[in-house]
Amino acid sequence: MRITFRPLSVAVLLAATLAATGCANMSHRDKNTVIGAGVGGVAGSVLTGGSAIGTVGGAAVGGFIGNQVNTGRRR
């Protein structure tokens, strides 16, 4: 089985990476949201064979899950 990355999944991953590294003032929850959206977008793209709807849907679900993750840290 050969996995190929479509241009859209690469663009989503690049955007998530830039957003995560370019915003040093983001809260921990915001960083989790961005990371979740990036991972979800790539996973959605891979699972649907590069479909734009799968990529966007995966990013939305991943962002939501990343936002809801509780790291267990208390401030």
- Using one digit for the tens of pLDDT, what is the confidence trace for 10-64? 777 777 777 666 666 778 888 888 889 888 988 998 888 888 899 889 999 999 9
**Are the C-beta atoms of residues 35 and 66 closer than 8 Å to each other?**
yes
d(CA 19, CA 3): 25
Structural domain includes residue 32? yes
Q: Is pLDDT at 4 greater than 70 in this prediction? A: no
Structural domain includes residue 55? yes
What pLDDT, on a 0 to 100 scale, did the predictor assign at position 19?
66
**Total number of domains constituting the chain:** 1
**Are the C-beta atoms of residues 35 and 7 closer than 8 Å to each other?**
no
Of all helices (H) and strands (E), which one includes residue 68?
helix 52-68
Q: Is pLDDT at 68 greater than 80 in this prediction? A: yes
pTM given for the model: 0.65
Q: Domain range spanning residue 25?
A: 7-68
**Are the C-beta atoms of residues 65 and 57 closer than 8 Å to each other?**
no
